[in-house]
Chain A
Amino acid sequence: MATVTAPAASDARQTGPKPPPKPRFGVGRALGWAFMILVMIVSLFPFYWILRTALSDNNALYAGGDSLLPVQFSWGGFERVFGIQTGQEAIDAGGAGQPIAFWRYLLNSVLVATMVTAGQVFFSAMAAYAFARLRWRHREQVFAVFLAGLMIPAIFTLLPNFVLIKELGLVDTVLGIALPSMLMTPFAVFFLRQFFLGISREVEEAAMVEGASKTRIFFRLILPISAAPISTLSILTYITSWNEYFWPLMVSYTDRSRVLTVALGVFKSQKPQAGPDWAGLMAATLVAALPMLLLFLVFARRIVNSIGFSGIK
């Protein structure tokens, strides 16, 4: 809404001393607002429900399933997440009794997501540059084969990757978790290539006339021009990597490499035929999602801008 009304207001100022026409508050506008508020409530309600469940007492939760407020208000869920509760207290509340090193998991998650994002974006940018701006024999054919990689389901590469990581002695290390997606993904290359294709050749030729090498052009020209799509890709990669579950589960065996998503599994089903620790799980989900929400708050405008941005004409 803000982006729509702002230019209208500035236009009004430019027309002269006349006071800006007061926006009429008709039925249509009221309906529009009502609809917007409804959409907001619908989309924010799940977050509220997570919070409400996180602040409930797990053993009482189902007895008050239809209550809008937390059932038997309790900080227990959050206490379990941060490992403040003793093992027996946690088990009595339906949680896991093992110690939870929350800050260690958070650090591991940040490490993995940072390594993956930095590596993947940089290497993919280099590949995309080669596919988009350099001329070499069979470039299009190689690219087609490369794109076919997009069609391979991740489950097929799981075991080969696992065996490779194992052979490299990287099982149960943060690097082992990050490595497979650190070098590149076909999607990242494709995404950046499409953007690089749109950069005008004149700029590049001008740089070449000045005597710049291909490497220099890549670092000094292509990368700075592409700041917007690169930041979009970075944020997407960061979030994907943050949410990754199965691979870290396979590679990590101890606390030293366990990431947040895997640690959240602790709160899930503990024994067959008995209810999970919903309060703990929701508290943990909330805490784990918080960094991503912050990331979005800070970069949201940048993402929106970069989608509309199409390079220098």
Chain B
Amino acid sequence: MLRRLLLTALLLTTAACGGVGSGGTTGTIEYWLWDSSQQPGYQKCADAFQRQNPGLRIHISQYGWDDYWSKLTASFIADTAPDVFTDQLAKFPQFVDLQVLRPLDDLGPTSDIKDSDYQEGLAELWKGKDGKRYGAPKDWDTIAVFYDTAAVRAAGIDPATLDELTWNPRDGGTFERTIAHLTIDQNGVRGDEPGFDRTRVKTYGLAANGGGGDNWGQTQWSAFTGSAGWQATDKNPWGARFNLDDPVVQDTLNWYFGLVRKGYMASFAAIGGRNAITPDTQIQSGIAAMGLSGSWTISSFTKLTDAAGRKLDIGVAPTPIGPIGKRASMFNGLADSITTFSKQPENAAKWVKFLSGEQCQNIIGESGVVFPARPAGTELAIRYNEKERGLDVSAFTDHIRNRTTFPLPVTSNAADVTALMTPALEAIFLGEAPAASLTRLNAQLNQLFEVAG
């Protein structure tokens, strides 16, 4: 028995070692991305690119968001990195620090990428402290409020009025009044009615989405801090002093996370703790009536159905107007970066040039998954949403038109910043610490930059 087992093992080992080559063939560009819903669009781009460049092939690998970054980091260490990968602003500074990205200005095909070809302010975000370009913009995103139209109508609210909501840190303004009215406890009492039991809530007015410490509250509180006039760092990108000790941000966060204590926003426990369910599923399951989310989740929201399989009627409203009299949304985007490990940087640059060029961006716009970085591509995505989904997405695009965006804070030591911020903000979300505790976090962050530079 044992001998047979050993023999089998030996045979299997030889078989496994057999037909295995070493690495990819020349002329194949390895391209990584994480969003599966974008893969078909980029496959179309790859097909078009291959037709124009018969000698080159594109191999696309997709890994889910959670695995993507650890696998990418390991691939840098092991020299198995892709030639080109989809990069994200929050992660990008760390890669610049690690010097694993190739400046696009130094490569022939990408040396002439112009800032002005893209939505205003987008391309500049992808330049390093040295002024060199490390990413070619592929898309952009802003934040808006998704809501369940049925729940809003059931509360006697005209969805059109959601476009005019205002908020302030003192009484929450019409925004807080709206989510209070959308909140319903187990007895059917609404949040703004007498006898409301905030400990036994059936439907929260606002979906929760964690503390937001890993991404500067992008889909959590950034629309509020932004419309209160707050800036995270002294300058952006590449700021080195932080403003978390500013009363503006602390008042805003006290109000925002205070919504949990009032029973208007889902708590850490209500959304499932560490493995929290996302705003789209909170709205679908009836836990929440509305929630803030990014434009890249439009397709997820519009696919939701009820238990009988009927499509949910989802609407989009802009983020509320804040104390400075304007709305605000964080402006973020993805770009394609070339790694220093690429054995064929010029070919990789050709592909990146194509990805950021008009043809591919229009293909992506027509797939309606994200807003492409080029204005023409954006228009195609807007039209797709109108025609195919019957959805007005101006809540996202108006931020661009009205210049009410502010960029995601890009800093060095990004991984350390995340490591310090995540628990601090989670503690505030959980109600274990007041927003005043951010003063200490601010000192820690400033110290980090003094030590690490």
Contacts and interface: CB of A to CB of B under 8 A. Distances in A.
Interface of A: 57, 59-60, 62-65, 67, 71-72, 87-88, 91-92, 94-98, 111, 114-115, 118-119, 122, 159, 162-163, 166, 169, 171-175, 178, 223, 249-250, 253-254, 256, 265-266, 268-275
A180 B34 CA distance: 28
The residue among B16, B63, B219, B279 with the most chain A CB atoms within 10 A of its own CB is B16
A98 B31 CA distance: 14
Given A175-B16, A273-B297, 14 more contacts: A57-B309, A62-B277, A63-B307, A98-B62, A111-B12, A111-B15, A119-B9, A163-B77, A166-B79, A172-B20, A250-B74, A271-B37, A271-B297, A273-B219
Contacts of A87: 39-40
A302 to B, nearest CB: 13
Nearest to B370: A271
A97 B17 contact: no
B342 interface: no
B153 interface: no
B394 interface: no
Contacts of A62: 277, 281, 284-285, 304
Contacts of A275: 277-278, 280-281, 300
B36 A96 contact: yes
Contact of B17 (A88, A122, A173, A270): A173
A65 B307 CA distance: 9
A60 B306 contact: yes
A256 B16 CA distance: 10
Contacts of B402: none
Interface in B253-311: 277-281, 284-286, 293-294, 296-297, 300, 303-309
Nearest to A57: B309
A211 B118 CA distance: 85
A79 to B, nearest CB: 16
A163 B37 contact: no
B13 A175 contact: yes
A118 B8 contact: yes
Contacts of B70: 249
20 contacts: A57-B305, A60-B308, A62-B284, A63-B307, A96-B36, A97-B37, A111-B12, A111-B15, A111-B16, A114-B9, A119-B9, A122-B6, A169-B22, A173-B20, A175-B16, A175-B17, A250-B74, A270-B65, A273-B278, A273-B294
A271 B39 contact: no
B65 A98 contact: no
A272 B219 CA distance: 10
Contacts of B22: 169
Contacts of A115: 9, 12-13, 16
Nearest to B37: A91
Contacts of B2: 122, 223
A288 B180 CA distance: 45
Contact of B34 (A65, A114, A173, A271): A271
A272 to B, nearest CB: 5
Contacts of A122: 2, 6, 9
B16 A270 contact: no
